[in-house]
Amino acid sequence: MQIMKLLLVINPISGDQDKEPFVKKIKDHVNSQDELDIFRTNGENDLEQLREYFRKKYDRVLVIGGDGTVKLVAEAMDDSPVSIGIIPAGSANGLASDLGLPESPEDAITVALGSETRKIDGVYLNGELGLHISDLGLNAELIKEYENGFFRGKLGYALNSIPTLFQSEGPYDFTIQTKNRTRKIRGIMLAFANSKKFGTGAVVNPDGKIDDGIFEILVFKKLDFIEIIKTLQHTEQLSRDFVEIIPVKEVRVTTTKPVDFQVDGEYCQAVSEVRARIAPQKLEIAVGK
Ligand SMILES: Nc1ncnc2c1ncn2[C@@H]1O[C@H](COP(=O)(O)OP(=O)(O)OP(=O)(O)O)[C@@H](O)[C@H]1O
């Protein structure tokens, strides 16, 4: 029998839930001869510490956390060819939901250790790797408030959202430069979307595919509750008065004043320029038994 070398990366605080029951289930699942290294994130110098782990060759990296933790692992492993198994345990889990990964811990562990894998694209944004959806404007403002707020988890996000929605500094004037064209569009938020839906399940980018070698620029022009409900129902075309969609491989977005910016649910800082380019087939994720 082949001995597997596994690295388990756990974010102890994501999604406000205890991860130890997951660890126990994983230990029950793997063979007793398998090597299992465990790293618990501390939120301070995780990237440097994880890079040390990747001096060793692993057969699979298992991640218990949200999108931010998957992104951390992807950055630490750089171009190492090992595939990642995701056990979703964040407040929103956008990437896992986009990939159709199971929500129940038992099924997620089976898939995370399974043999069916899928390659996905990444997007470099000002040199930082994003895997899911990053944005400038309203959603980044919400994430900033959430990170500064007292509550975590979905309820925390909702509670922190309310004041921000009324105090948002937008709309913003976005200048979007692609190879052949420069456009100026006013909106409350501009997203760089590598996939279809937000972690909440809202389908904001109906044509988005996480492995097609392109990403979409989405400019949301206004807060329109009817259109937001359509995104939750996944059915209808979204109106161009609500969102404008531009497929790109490379783009430069500038604003007249600094705008809050987030990558995969992690607040970065306010910026007035984002240069983004696709990184095709960047990561391999376990998606089936
Ligand atoms: N031990 C820790 N203490 C405090 N913060 C931590 C710790 N470990 C990781 N973090 C922080 O957790 C964040 C990443 O969380 P992650 O995105 O995985 O989960 P989440 O925010 O709950 O979920 P989601 O991104 O799906 O909404 C990073 O900002 C990281 O710095």
pLDDT digit string (tens) for 43-81?
Answer: 999 999 999 999 999 999 999 999 899 999 999 998 888
Asked if 140 and 264 sit in the same domain, the reply is yes
In a domain, 120, yes or no: no
Atom of ligand 1 nearest to the CA of 265: 25
Residue pLDDT, tens place only, 132-141: 999 999 888 8
Q: Is the CB of 68 under 6 A from ligand 1?
A: yes
Q: Looking at 92, 114, 136, which one is the last position of a domain?
A: 114
Q: Assign residue 86 the CATH number of its domain.
A: 3.40.50.10330
Q: Is the CB of 13 under 6 A from ligand 1?
A: yes
249 and 213 Cβ atoms separated by less than 8 Å: yes
264 and 68 Cβ atoms separated by less than 8 Å: yes
Q: What is the mean pLDDT of residues 175-196?
A: 94
CA dihedral 217, 219, 225, 229 (to 10 degrees): -10
What is the pLDDT, as a whole number, of residue 275? 98
Asked if 186 and 94 sit in the same domain, the reply is no
Q: What is the mean pLDDT of residues 104-123?
A: 95
User: Which tokens hold the place of 120?
Assistant: 């996905």
What is the pLDDT, as a whole number, of residue 154? 58
- What's the CA gap between 129 and 288, in Å, rounded? 25
Q: Which of 69, 71, 91, 197 to mutate to test the pocket of ligand 1 (most atoms within 8 A of CB)?
A: 69
Asked if 138 and 80 sit in the same domain, the reply is no
User: What is the ipTM score, two decimals?
Assistant: 0.95
In a domain, 286, yes or no: no
User: Which tokens hold the place of 47?
Assistant: 């990237």
Residue pLDDT, tens place only, 218-231: 999 877 766 666 66
Asked if 212 and 76 sit in the same domain, the reply is no
What is the pLDDT, as a whole number, of residue 139? 84
Q: Is the CB of 269 under 6 A from ligand 1?
A: no
> Which residue, judged by its Cα, is nearest atom 23 of ligand 1?
90
Q: Is the CB of 134 under 6 A from ligand 1?
A: no
Helix (H) or strand (E) holding 64: strand 60-65
Number of folded domains that form the chain: 2
Q: Looking at the predicted structure, is the pLDDT value of residue 161 above 90?
A: no
Domain of residue 252: give its range: 128-281
Instruction: Look at residues 103, 70, 79 and name the one whose alpha carbon lies nearest to residue 195.
Output: 70
